């Protein structure tokens, strides 16, 4: 390319058009940022967009604006440059190249590095250390590969191994020492209960991996007191009452969203699937249009936790609400392709991400008055799933059904690997105790009657 893609902002117009922004104010802000960047690049009179040009533009912005504004404008320009690369207008996006070079997923760290006194040194400092390069790295890597080959996702454990490997790479004095001593040294770096628990979990997993090569390796002992302390420290689930669930649903239906009229319908249906079908947030956001079968009255939840796919029947009231949402979705102009996201919005991704879904549902809980305005305290979105389990048990008790016989069905409906996972969700409430106590009194009275009739 010999010049910047255009001189009359046609590229910016095409980019803004495909963003499908609903707010006129947002369009004006985007156009102002991108046109300012374009004028700056054109003044440089370079044949190709370089890192130095990006750095010079950022320094000019930093002299006039606060850092968070500079980062926001850098993100806007970054996405625009990705668009230009995809259309063949420019050869490369310097932001994308730097993210790849430094293994960064977002722009803030890149922006700060480019604004440093010595950008190259700052960029080099962002580069991550090599993974599994410690003296136990090969053993950890082979164990993770084995677990993946068996069929486990093993993501949580692999991340734990990676953190321990980074610690060992910084402590060359520990090379060759026993596993027990390595765990003690790692535990001392962060004397908290959660870190002690992580050290214990890693010790057991790594010990099993090392024993495949050396049977003499001893597995670290399990600290039962630590296990009890961890269980006591964890947040107890909150079981929503029926009036609270009604309040949450009404709040979701009335959620203020002038620029996205479909959003209240989305949030209402999401909450409904959480409290009436026990779906996880990740399962909700991954639903496609084809996963809903209104004729059969069911939805299909595909490839979720433990690699499970399950088909869930829904009640008539839930199906009616889902049908209303599908009609509102169609009228909003959403894609009717079967692979499109069930919960649609008009932006480029066309479906809600996990992070945005959780943020919006937390805002619903706050607006409903069930969760404080700030902090990670109070009821959680995941507690809708806990409430589903408890309410299902209550309905069985009220209908005179033996819950113990039906627990395997509930476990399958929830997508659990066994009944023990379902029992974790079974939080004992006062009403549940009353129903269980009444069932036991009926049973005991029947037994006394039988014994009284015997000679």
User: Concatenated DSSP letters for 345-413?
Assistant: -SSSS-S--HHHHHHHHHHHHHHTTSS-SSSS-S--TTHHHHHHHHHHHHHHHHTT--HHHHHHHHHHH
Annotated active-site residue in 79, 305, 310, 439? 305
pLDDT tens digits along 197-210: 999 999 999 998 99
Task: Give residue 352's pLDDT band: very low, low, confident or very high (50, 70, 90).
Answer: very high
Over the range 21-57, which residues count as b (16 or more CB within 10 Å of their CB) and which as e? beeeeeeeebeebbeebbebbeeeeeeebebebbbbb
The reported pLDDT for the residue numbered 201 is: 92
Does 75 qualify as catalytic in the annotation?
no
Q: Which residue has the tokens 């995941």?
A: 382
- Stretch 237-256: mean pLDDT, rounded? 93
What residues pair up with 288 in beta bridges, in sequence order?
341
Q: What pLDDT, on a 0 to 100 scale, did the predictor assign at position 345?
A: 86
Tell me what pLDDT residue 2 has.
Answer: 46
Q: What is the pLDDT of residue 222?
A: 85
CA distance 1 to 118: 30
Per the annotation, the verdict on 363 as an active-site residue is: no
pLDDT of residue 20: 79
Handedness of CA 412, 417, 419, 420 (dihedral sign): negative
Residue 365 has pLDDT above 90, yes or no: yes
Quote the distance between the C-alpha of residue 5 and its chain's center. Answer: 38
- Alpha carbons 136 and 66: distance in angstroms, whole number: 45
DSSP-assigned states of every residue in 256-275 = --TT-TTHHHHHHHHHHHHH
Asked whether the beta carbons of 336 and 289 are under 8 A apart, the reply is yes
Which of the following is catalytic: 61, 280, 371, 392?
Answer: 280
Tens digits of per-residue pLDDT, 69-78?
999 999 999 9
Residue 347 pLDDT > 80: no
Mean pLDDT, the chain, integer? 86
Is residue 250 predicted with pLDDT exceeding 90? Answer: yes
Spatial separation of the C-alpha atoms in residues 300 and 92, rounded to whole Å: 41
| Tokens read off for 432 | 């549940």
Q: What is the per-residue pLDDT for 394?
A: 83
Beta strands at 310-313 and 298-301: parallel, antiparallel or unpaired? antiparallel
Q: How many percent of the chain have pLDDT more than 70?
A: 91
pTM of the model: 0.68
CATH number of 242-375: 1.10.443.10
Question: For the chain, what are the domain ranges?
Answer: 10-126, 137-233, 242-375, 386-453
Q: What is the pLDDT of residue 418?
A: 78
pLDDT tens digit string along 413-432? 888 877 877 777 776 556 65
pLDDT in tens, 279-294: 999 999 999 999 999 9
Asked if pLDDT for residue 248 goes beyond 80, the answer is yes
């Amino acid at each position: 390319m010999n010049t910047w893609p255009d001189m009359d902002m046609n590229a910016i117009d095409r980019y803004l058009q495909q963003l499908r922004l609903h707010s006129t104010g947002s369009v004006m802000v985007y156009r102002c940022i991108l046109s300012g960047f374009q004028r700056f690049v054109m003044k440089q009179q370079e044949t190709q967009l370089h890192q130095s040009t990006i750095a010079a533009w950022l320094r000019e912005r930093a002299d006039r604006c606060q850092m968070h504004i500079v980062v926001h404008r850098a993100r806007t320009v970054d996405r625009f440059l990705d668009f230009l690369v995809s259309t063949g207008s420019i050869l490369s996006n310097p932001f994308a190249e730097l993210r790849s070079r430094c293994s960064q997923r977002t722009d803030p760290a890149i922006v700060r590095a480019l604004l440093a006194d010595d950008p190259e040194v700052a960029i080099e400092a962002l580069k991550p250390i090599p993974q599994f390069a410690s003296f136990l790295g090969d053993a950890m890597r082979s164990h993770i590969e084995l677990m993946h080959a068996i069929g486990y996702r093993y993501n949580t454990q692999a991340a734990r191994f990676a953190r321990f490997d980074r610690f060992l790479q910084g402590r060359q004095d520990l090379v060759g020492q026993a596993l027990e001593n390595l765990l003690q040294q790692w535990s001392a770096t962060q004397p908290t209960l959660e870190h002690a628990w992580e050290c214990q979990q890693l010790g057991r997993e790594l010990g099993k991996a090392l024993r495949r090569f050396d049977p003499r390796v001893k597995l670290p002992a399990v600290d039962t007191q630590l296990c009890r302390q961890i269980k006591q420290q964890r947040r107890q689930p909150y079981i929503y009452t029926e009036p609270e669930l009604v309040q949450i649903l009404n709040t979701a239906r009335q959620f203020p969203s002038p620029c996205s009229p479909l959003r209240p319908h989305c949030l209402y249906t999401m909450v409904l699937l959480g409290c009436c079908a026990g779906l996880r947030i990740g399962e909700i956001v991954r639903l496609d249009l084809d996963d809903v079968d209104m004729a059969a009255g069911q939805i299909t939840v595909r490839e979720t936790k433990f690699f499970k796919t399950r088909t869930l029947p829904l009640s008539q009231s839930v199906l009616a609400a889902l049908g209303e949402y599908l009609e509102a979705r169609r009228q909003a102009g959403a894609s009717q392709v079967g692979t499109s996201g069930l919960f649609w919005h008009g932006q480029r991704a066309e479906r809600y991400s996990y992070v945005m879904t959780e943020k919006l549902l937390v805002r619903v809980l706050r607006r409903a008055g069930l969760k404080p305005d700030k902090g990670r305290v109070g009821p959680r979105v995941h507690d809708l799933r806990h409430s589903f389990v408890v309410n299902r048990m209550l309905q069985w008790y009220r209908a005179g059904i033996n819950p113990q016989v039906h627990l395997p069905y509930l476990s399958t409906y929830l997508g659990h690997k066994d009944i023990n996972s379902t029992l974790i969700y079974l939080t004992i409430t006062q009403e549940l105790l009353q129903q269980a106590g009444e069932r036991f009194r009926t049973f005991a009275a029947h037994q006394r009657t039988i014994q009284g009739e015997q000679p």
